[in-house]
């Protein structure tokens, strides 16, 4: 059945015009030359159920001109119409997350980008002015349609371009292709498509790209229990999330969707504890005293101009140390000189960053083409605290997120040596609320990276503390950020660890 109910700012409008113009040109060219089947609008009207659904969708569009949210996709989206216990009971998730937002379900089982393009051309968004269009499409392109990754990418570009043309005021939330176990070749194509989408739509005005695939993995292995296909009468390989998987998917999308819709999350962020939000790459979450995007662009520009021997990755503790790109304040210039001397160093520290922000930045090119001898990673302290924008992470989740960052670094620069810093102590007194979770996180980090030849784990927390466990203002004036004397402790530890020319 069809449901009865159906504050991202464009930072560079001239870029938007160029991007959309080029995408529409690609679509037009493909339609005339018929080179890529993924961008050629194609119907399935010969299938009676498909034709009937299209007719029903057109009626729903006419009946609900006040629609505020569109869900556009294939069977994974079409499944929200189901209420089949126990594995395909998706209506509760629909009613909780989407129905209150006046949503319409434009999912069709088996569709590819070509079919979505036809549907968009034939009235399925006519007369609507939704706030957000949530798009999840492409898995059938790389499966039964046998489209290449590049063809699928162009198909997704064409869908985005068509939506922008027909719904110019609508924000697009574009999801990465979900993981599956259909075949190794499909999974590789899907990874390639998602890498393209992350890079291409990282800062495209009007489009937010979100990759939630990590929620379907446990210990880096696909969790088949979150898919219903293996439990069907004629079992298949994991492809379609089951009741629990689809709910987790909605929860993973929810913080970003709520922000785009301009409404409160449908469930409290702190309650969504069965998904590790630290593993879902997202851009800036918290406002701070600097322009997060300007610093990101400065990083990209600088790394194209230098060949750093050392790269530091982290949050404000790294950000405020010293080095390039220059920042304010600078709390440890003397210690910086002591640690690095004349070495070429790139400071990739961003105030208020969490693990998920670092993952976003890495996938947006901040470590492309670099091959430093040393990578110093210190991240995770902000994950221990929750705000209205993100929930607090558990120590185990933080360790899993840090491991993901290390994998990203190793993939880009396999010869680099990673110096992984334990989270520094916080709070003046030993009884500070964060001391215990920091200690637990550091204990788990030590266990996780024990014996890893490419990672040197450094826990220097005790060196910041007095004999009675206090953290003095002389070392960390605000209980979190080191003074120059505090940075001297870090500098000495790096030198001792071998970070030198």
- Once rounded to an integer, what is the mean pLDDT over residues 98-114? 98
CATH superfamily membership of 292-496: SGNH hydrolase (3.40.50.1110)
Choose the CATH number for 13-212 among 3.90.1150.10, 3.40.50.300, 3.40.50.1110, 2.60.40.10. Answer: 3.40.50.1110
Q: Tell me what pLDDT residue 202 has.
A: 93
Label residue 400 by pLDDT band (50, 70, 90).
very high
Label residue 33 by pLDDT band (50, 70, 90).
low
- Domain chopping of the chain, boundaries: 13-212, 292-496
Q: How far is CA 443 from the centre of its chain?
A: 27
Structure-derived torsion over alpha carbons of residues 183, 186, 188, 189, reported in degrees to the nearest 10: 170
167-212 residue pLDDT tens: 999 999 999 999 999 999 999 999 999 999 999 999 999 999 999 9
Mean model confidence pLDDT for the chain? 93
Provide, rounded to the nearest whole percent, the portion of the chain with pLDDT above 90: 91
Q: Tell me what pLDDT residue 137 has.
A: 99
Fold match between domain 13-212 and domain 292-496: yes
Helical spans, DSSP H, in 34-139: 48-63, 75-78, 91-97, 113-121
54-68 residue pLDDT tens: 999 999 999 999 999
Q: Which of 132, 136, 83 is nearest to 107 (CA)?
A: 136
Label residue 29 by pLDDT band (50, 70, 90).
very low
- Once rounded to an integer, what is the mean pLDDT over residues 280-308? 96
Label residue 22 by pLDDT band (50, 70, 90).
very low
Backbone dihedral angles phi then psi of residue 413, each to the nearest 5 degrees: -145, 80
- Once rounded to an integer, what is the mean pLDDT over residues 43-53? 98
234-260 residue pLDDT tens: 999 999 999 999 999 999 999 999 999
Distance CA 8, CA 201 (A): 13
Q: Tell me what pLDDT residue 32 has.
A: 45
Residues whose CB is less than 8 angstroms from the CB of residue 463 and which lie 6 or more positions away in sequence, other chains included: 489, 493
pTM of the model: 0.92
Residue 13: is its pLDDT beyond 80?
no
Query: In sequence order, what DSSP letters do the residues of 266-333 get, joined into one string?
Result: SS-GGG--SS-GGGS--S--S--SS-HHHHHHHHHHHHTT---SEEEEESHHHHTT--BS--SS---H
Q: Tell me what pLDDT residue 2 has.
A: 54
> Coil, strand or helix: which one is 459?
coil
Label residue 326 by pLDDT band (50, 70, 90).
very high
């Amino acid at each position: 059945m069809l449901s009865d109910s159906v504050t991202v700012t464009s930072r560079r409008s001239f870029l938007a015009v160029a991007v959309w113009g080029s995408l529409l040109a690609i679509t037009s060219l493909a339609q005339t030359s018929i080179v890529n089947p993924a961008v050629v609008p194609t119907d399935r009207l010969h299938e009676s159920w498909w034709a009937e659904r299209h007719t029903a969708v057109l009626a729903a569009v006419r009946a609900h001109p006040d629609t505020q949210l569109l869900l556009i996709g294939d069977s994974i989206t079409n499944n929200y119409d189901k209420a089949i216990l126990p594995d395909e009971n998706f209506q509760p998730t629909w009613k909780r997350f989407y129905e209150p937002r006046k949503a319409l379900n434009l999912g069709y089982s088996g569709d590819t980008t070509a079919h979505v393009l036809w549907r968009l051309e034939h009235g399925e968004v006519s007369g609507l002015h939704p706030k957000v269009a949530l798009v999840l499409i492409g898995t059938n392109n790389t499966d039964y349609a046998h489209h290449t990754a590049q063809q699928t990418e162009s198909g997704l570009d064409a869908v985005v371009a068509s939506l922008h043309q027909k719904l110019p005021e609508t924000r697009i939330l574009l999801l990465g292709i979900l993981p599956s176990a259909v075949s190794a070749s499909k999974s590789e194509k899907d990874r390639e498509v998602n890498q393209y989408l992350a890079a291409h739509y990282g800062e495209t005005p009007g489009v937010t790209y979100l990759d939630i695939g990590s929620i379907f993995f446990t210990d880096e292995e696909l969790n088949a229990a979150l898919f219903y296909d293996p439990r069907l009468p004629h079992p298949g390989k994991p492809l379609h999330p089951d009741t629990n998987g689809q709910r987790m998917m909605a929860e993973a999308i929810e913080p970003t969707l709520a922000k785009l819709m301009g409404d409160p999350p449908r469930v409290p962020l702190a309650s969504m504890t069965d998904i590790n939000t630290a593993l879902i790459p997202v851009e800036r979450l918290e406002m701070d005293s600097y322009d997060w995007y300007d610093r990101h662009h400065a990083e990209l520009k600088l790394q194209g101009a230098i060949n750093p021997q050392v790269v530091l990755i982290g949050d404000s503790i790294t950000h405020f140390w010293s080095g390039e790109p220059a920042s304010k304040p600078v709390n440890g210039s003397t210690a910086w000189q002591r640690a690095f001397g004349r070495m070429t160093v790139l400071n990739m520290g961003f105030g208020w960053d969490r693990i998920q922000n670092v993952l976003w930045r890495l996938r947006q090119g901040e470590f492309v083409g670099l091959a430093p001898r040393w990578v110093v990673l210190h991240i995770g302290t902000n994950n221990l605290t929750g705000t209205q924008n993100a929930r607090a992470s558990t120590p185990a989740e933080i360790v899993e997120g840090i491991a993901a960052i290390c994998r990203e670094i190793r993939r880009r620069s396999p010869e680099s040596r990673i110096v992984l810093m334990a989270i520094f102590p916080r709070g003046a007194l030993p009884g500070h609320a964060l001391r215990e979770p920091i200690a637990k996180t550091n204990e788990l980090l030590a266990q996780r990276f024990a014996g890893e030849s490419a990672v040197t784990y450094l826990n220097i927390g005790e060196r910041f503390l007095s004999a009675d466990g206090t953290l003095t203002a002389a070392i960390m004036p605000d209980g979190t950020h080191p003074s120059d004397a505090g940075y001297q402790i870090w500098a000495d530890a790096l030198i001792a660890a071998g970070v030198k020319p």
